[in-house]
Amino acid sequence: MPLITVVGSGRVGTSAALQIALRELGDIVLLDVIQGLPQGEALDLNHACAILDLDVDVKGSNDYRDIQGSDVVVVTAGLTRKPDMTRLDLLLKNAEIIKEVSRHIRENAPKSKVIVVTNPLDVMAYVAYRVTGFESRRVMGFSGLLDVGRYRYLIRNRLGVSYKSIRGMVIGEHGDSMVLLPSHTYVGTEPLSKYMDEKSTAEIVEATRKMGAEIIRLKGWSAHHAPGAGVAVMVEAILKDQKSIIPTSTLLTGQYGEKDVYAVLPCVLGAEGVEKVLEPSLSPDELTKFRESVKIIRNAVNQLSLDKT
């Protein structure tokens, strides 16, 4: 059975572990630096598996040696956003955490695929890529499914159609400069523009950008149910070699003229990780916004010291 490690036993980590268990994707190691926390969460999750007849074993650990043999490592460790904080406010502190986690992954799970969830997402995925030394296809960032999920939620509420009928895409930064693509959004077989005018579409795009902050404002901490669900979808795509097209933060190698930076683009996820990076056709305005978004990510990366890993 595959082995999936989740580094970080906070709300996002435990939500991801639960969603992975619900799909019976493999056994799980839940790892955290806090003594007792992952062990207690693992025990609770094992009891849930027993109730639901899920033949999955969840182990809590404080020792990175227990991640040996992991097929996928999900990294949720780090500080979380608080009210009035942006994802970039977390930059310096979380970079040091991700560096340390990445060294342990390199030493103990050198054949794994790595999914980074820690914010600021695109920057942290790049840090993990640099520090692990893994091929870029094996290190990716989760966020696109979350942003598209929020976008689809708003469209469904406006139009009253099933989620199954709505397809959308996001590119760029997981943050305020994200570039949602109404031009690549479909309701059934028709473009979104057939059912929604430009003003309504713009309102939904703006509301999607602000959704993360709204959740924090309402409940006092950041989202975790939706990230956990999205992470499980990515893990499943890799372990089952589904070749699913999922918006994923990945290393740019010349797409739209950008390289050596992580940003979200639609990617084909399969057994090798990011197996292909797609380049949807963009309008001049969309391309400009994408490049501006990438510039924000690049500027954040430039604030870090990644020479000594």
Task: Quick: pLDDT tens for 244-265.
Answer: 999 999 999 999 999 999 999 9
pTM: predicted TM-score of the whole model, two decimal places: 0.95
CATH 3.90.110.10-classified regions of the chain: 144-301
Q: Which CATH number fits domain 144-301: 3.90.110.10, 1.20.140.10, 3.30.360.10, 3.40.190.10?
A: 3.90.110.10
Task: Quick: pLDDT tens for 278-289.
Answer: 999 999 999 999
Task: Report, at the CATH architecture level, how domain 3-141 is classified.
Answer: 3-Layer(aba) Sandwich (3.40)
For 193, the token pair is 């523009």
Task: Quick: pLDDT tens for 113-149.
Answer: 999 999 999 999 999 999 999 999 999 999 999 999 9
| Residue that has been written with the tokens 């460790």 in this structure | 77
Q: What integer pLDDT is reported at residue 241 of this predicted model?
A: 98
Beta strands in 142-243 (DSSP E): 166-167, 170-171, 179-180, 186-187, 190-191
d(CA 94, CA 80): 9
| Residue that has been written with the tokens 């003003």 in this structure | 199
**Enzyme catalytic residues:** 174
* Dihedral (Cα; 11, 17, 19, 21), 10-degree rounding: -150
Percent of the chain with pLDDT over 70: 96
CATH 3.40.50.720-classified regions of the chain: 3-141
pLDDT band at 175 (very low <50, low <70, confident <90, very high): confident
Task: Quick: pLDDT tens for 100-117.
Answer: 999 999 999 999 999 999
pLDDT value at 88 more than 90: no
Detail the residues annotated as belonging to a binding site for NAD(+): 8-13, 32, 94, 117-119
pLDDT value at 224 more than 70: yes
Q: What integer pLDDT is reported at residue 85 of this predicted model?
A: 65
pLDDT value at 309 more than 60: no
